[in-house]
Structure 1
Amino acid sequence: MTLFTSGLVVDRRETAADGVLVLTLRHPLGEPLPGWEPGAHVDVVLGPDLERQYSLCGDPADRSVWRIAVLREPEGRGGSARLHDRVGVGDKVRVRGPRNHFRLEPAARYRFVAGGIGITPILPMLAAAEESGAEWTLLYGGRSRRSMAFAGELERYGDRVTIAPEDESGLLDLGPVLDDVSDGTLVYCCGPGPLLDAVEERCPPGVLRVERFRPKEREGSDADTEFEVELARSGRTVTVAPDVSVLDAVRAAGVEVLYSCTEGTCGTCETDVVEGTPDHRDSVLTDEERAAGETMLICVSRCRGKRLVLDL
């Protein structure tokens, strides 16, 4: 993972839909950017304690540029507004990445479902599925056609893509897409929480892969209690109080760790677990990864017990 401290240069600035800004970024010296695979995202560092994650939605084979799409969020914390209003062609933007918790796994068939700006990580997945020869379809919903980014780019795929604006056809009809999910099929979904929850309800176990922009509603976690965390590499032991996250306790002890969203959605703070059982509260890890207990997101997850040993 790379942090471009001097910044990547904004090469192009375009409007993809109402409220959606597309920025194409290049290295200031024209050097190739790190490679990435469909599903990857980068952290855009806008200032102290102000970082935002954006999916890479260009062509992974083109390492001369990265492309991200930014939805203006009037009720957000200011990150999207800053990019929309203050960043122009030629400006530099600090970027960290890429990182991928939403990888496209090999499959014979794919069912893609996207809502709104959730189309961004799906775009390069479609090209990869096409290249692999897999059978696939995309159901893409949004408030209106004017708000649905990249609809024009999707026309080349013909009737494999269904574009369903809510103001024309109502809420997405998931039945025709998900009722025929069979062996060898994977479902990839990105978009608003209610859409992801609806897709999750319809999918059989093991076939769904999602990426969330907001943390999933917490359920089934233990009550917050005090526990100890031993930091294997630094030789320190810190006490994590009930109202303090592992991340904050570790940082207060003077150990620097990478973090970004502090909500368990970006994966930046994922840390290896040496001993102990995590109480997973993130929206990133799969059920299999949680059961294995080999890593945890220390910004939100805690301990099932009295002690954890982390690779920090």
Structure 2
Amino acid sequence: MAAPRFTAACIQMRSGRDVLKNRDAAVALVREAADKGAHFAQTPEMTSLISRDRADLFEKIGPQDQDPVLASLREVARERGVLVQIGSLAVKDGDKVANRSFLIDAKGEIVASYDKIHLYDVDLPNGESWRESATYTGGDTAVLAETPWGLLGMTICYDLRFPALYRALAENGASFLSAPAAFTRQTGEAHWEVLHRARAIETGSFMISAAQGGLHESGRETFGHSIIVDPWGRVLAEAGTEPGVILAEIDPALVTEVRGRIPTLKNARSFKVAIALDPQPLGRAASA
């Protein structure tokens, strides 16, 4: 029996330094999504707090069982009978922080969690410098979560640039893939949509990714453009830069249809890599 269609919502935010204010914004937007018919609602990476100050971050976070955003979103999931994916929260993990995503079922129970595997360490041409590894601890396990409509592959932000992760999730049964994010404006303008369409096409999966958008209190500027893409690579819904909700109807049967037409998951073969070295460097004449 085919899985039923459902309505997915991406919750776009502009999280600041006030955890409780961010919590209230997330709760209000999830309720709005549910009122508009969403069965599944996803918030962005760092739903609870965006701060570039490490001391400020550590002062305002704690272990997940004490996180007020997690507790409130569990309650709203139970209240409205919707699945809620928290794109990620910063939670204490020893002397570092875990960038952790949660899937909450319609009874308010945590059914899965995922720690971001790939950490964003970079120096950008505009002078911005990011060293996630200085503060965050990377995960080491890809996670598939069961939903009423099929398996959801959970990833976060920078993971989007590593296609092997998405292929592994799809090969293990994922029909839906998510990459909730806080992409910078510059990289988002260049790559956000094309990477989502590529991951969807490569795996024959839906991509559902909520994002942070706009200029934050910390001075960081994020791209926004929360997006839902179908397995054929078509954009079903896309936001701008302002906080709000986007929705799209998801037909799980389309995953089977597209994978049947372009069976890349089945047709993949293992291979070796050979490096053929030219014994005659270019521009150098052979000896007579």
TM-score higher than 0.5 = no
- Taking structure 2 as the reference length, the TM-score comes to 0.31
Q: Which has the higher strand share?
A: 1
Higher relative contact order (CA 8 A, sep 6+): 2
Higher helix share: 2
Q: TM-score, normalised by structure 1?
A: 0.29
